[in-house]
Amino acid sequence: MISLSRINVTFNTGSRTLVAARDIDLRVDEGDVFGIVGYSGAGKSTLVRVMNLLQRPSSGEVVVNGQKLLELTPKELRSARKKIGMIFQHFNLMKSRTVYDNVLYPLKSSRMPKSEKDRKVRELLQLVGLSDKLASYPSQLSGGQKQRVAIARALANEPRILLCDEATSALDPKTTLSILDLLRDLNRELGLTIVIITHEMQVVKEICNKVAVMEEGAIVEQGDIVSIFSEPKQPLTRDFIHTATHFGQTMEKIMSHPSLARMENDDLLCKISYVGSRTSEAIVSDIATRFGVSANILFGNVEILQQTPVGSLIVVLSGGRSELEKALAYLRSLDVTVDRLDSPGKAALGGASVV
Amino acid sequence: MNDFLNRYLPNVMENKSEIWESTYETLYMVFMTSLFSAIFGIALGVILVATDKGGILANRWVYSILEKIVNFFRSVPFIILIAIVVPVTRLLTGTSIGMNAAIVPLVIGIVPFYARQIQNALLEVDPGIIEATQAMGSGPVEIIFRVYLKEGLTGIIRASSVTVINLIGLTTMAGAIGSGGLGSLAINKGYNRFQLDITFVATILILLLVFVCQFIGDYFTRKSTH
């Protein structure tokens, strides 16, 4: 659907050269909800603008809907863009036009008969749940409503792709969820391929099936969401995931209050992570009955990503040394990842944690 | 009433028809100049915005040349501009004196000012909106007519009323080439012949004209704001 290969984007600002995208390869398949996360200035917005050539790359190839965009004439590019919808952080609605006219705008140049256009606009506004706001001006709407109008406008020419540039970043958490719900419905019902640029992993977690993590213009890690969430390889990816799951804060609390762990000599502080239908309870009771190892659960979290549970537990395992070894071996044989963490006491002394 | 006017504005009452004529001349010059300036000024303002760095038709050469021309003509004092452009005036109107001849320097004097005002008004259109319409596949012509001129309408109206008020000021100077109008009436009939009541009435009429323009401008500004 969208394929970027060896994309480089550099800006010349007088004496300095700024690299906004370096050597990026990216593939978005039909029906994907593809998330691109990164902190501000990572080059995400530049990258999404390459996908409809609002930003021309310095080198590389852009193929969207089977067309090599860089080889198109301006006129061809304009008609290609009609098939790539885009929404923005600040909605970018025309203030001088009503909601109805904003949605009508992209249809004005089409040869559709007037009655057809009217039907289309009403249908789109119904789809986003704003049928009662036809005659309102954008200034009379809330942020969430504005974004809904923007979505209706972006869908007017029936694009196969919707690019979302920080589309929920200016919205409160509740409104964010409702917009994400709408996007998910569009993805499912219209088969719309969606690319989402965001700095919030929460957004990615909510609706994406694939994710790429960007830093300093490069993609540091990409893959399907379940494997990224269950086995993040890069520190930056882990950072993002931990902010989404509040894992980092929890660890900090546990580490700064050794009493929480209440550990004996041979006790192990572990992080147990697992993917799939296996429930945490079964794991804990399993090792208790099989090896007599008791697990004190300090923290547990289960995310349902694309219908797959991804869980993590922080536990203190206690029992005899050999039983502990056996229990760990057993857990590893179940495809459960076990990471030993420094005990709070040591962490307090050494200050290092292996999370 | 008539007694009162005859007593306090004797010269005005004697030259009534001339005052009406001067008012007509001023209105004529303001109207015709506004008409031409609107076309050229808006076009020039749009071209400046479009060819500016990051504009929809960015072109450094066109922009910097036009900008220098605009700056040059804005810097020349109007009374001197009238004299400088006389050859052009003669070429276009066949004469260098009178009401119609005055329109040429007036247009040349006001267009750069107006173009700058339009440029500023259009720069206030949210660049995000321009980007969104580009993403929707709009071309430059469509963006100019359906986005810049529509979204910038409030600013354009404000710029227009400021410009017309400025223009009224300039028409008074056009008296220097025998254009007639309230300005030359105030100077030639009023000041030079010590008929102060004529100067006074001419001033009142000019102020009235300015207020009306201001009022109309404000009305449409309010109407176009959502």
Query: Which whole number is the average pLDDT over B31-40?
Result: 96
Q: Is the CB of B131 less than 8 angstroms away from the CB of A92?
A: yes
Yes or no: say if A293 and A323 are a contact pair by the CB < 8 Å rule: yes
Q: Does B138 touch chain A (CB under 8 A)?
A: yes
Which residue matches tokens 């088969």? A191
pLDDT in tens, A165-213: 999 999 999 999 999 999 999 999 999 999 999 998 889 988 999 999 9
> Is A259's pLDDT higher than 90?
no
Q: Is the CB of A84 less than 8 angstroms away from the CB of B128?
A: no
Question: Helices marked H in A292-337 — which ranges?
Answer: 321-333
pLDDT for position A337: 82
**Closest partner CB to A88 (pick from B128, B153, B224):** B128
Which residue matches tokens 């450094």? B60
Cα separation, B43 vs A335, in Å, equals 70
pLDDT for position A354: 41
Cα separation, A136 vs A100, in Å, equals 8
Query: No. of H helices and E strands in chain A?
Result: 14, 14
**Closest partner CB to A96 (pick from B132, B135, B226):** B226
* Global ipTM: 0.85
Cα separation, A105 vs A319, in Å, equals 70
Q: Does A108 touch chain B (CB under 8 A)?
A: yes
More confident of the two residues B118 and B177: B118
Cα separation, A182 vs A173, in Å, equals 14
pLDDT for position A153: 96
pLDDT for position B12: 83
pLDDT for position A328: 85
Chain A residues touching B137 at Cβ < 8 A: 78-82, 106, 157
Cα separation, A126 vs A58, in Å, equals 41
Give A79-124 as a DSSP string: HHHTTEEEE-TT----TTS-HHHHHHGGGTTS---HHHHHHHHHHH
Count interface pairs A-B at CB distance under 8 A.
63
Band of residue A252 on the pLDDT scale cut at 50, 70, 90: confident
Band of residue A91 on the pLDDT scale cut at 50, 70, 90: very high
Q: Does B124 touch chain A (CB under 8 A)?
A: no
Task: Pick the closest to residue B189 from B25, B14, B2, B7 (CA basis).
Answer: B14
Yes or no: say if A285 and A254 are a contact pair by the CB < 8 Å rule: no
Band of residue B15 on the pLDDT scale cut at 50, 70, 90: confident
Cα separation, B215 vs B125, in Å, equals 24
> Is A156's pLDDT higher than 50?
yes
CA distance A162 to chain B (A): 11
pLDDT for position A281: 65
What is the pLDDT of chain B when averaged over all its residues?
93
pLDDT in tens, B181-208: 999 998 888 888 898 899 999 999 999 9
Cα separation, A180 vs A169, in Å, equals 12
Query: Which whole number is the average pLDDT over B85-91?
Result: 93
Question: Helices marked H in A60-217 — which ranges?
Answer: 74-81, 99-104, 114-127, 143-154, 173-190, 201-207
Chain A residues touching B133 at Cβ < 8 A: 105
Burial of residue A289 (CB within 10 Å: 0-12, 13-18, 19+) is: exposed
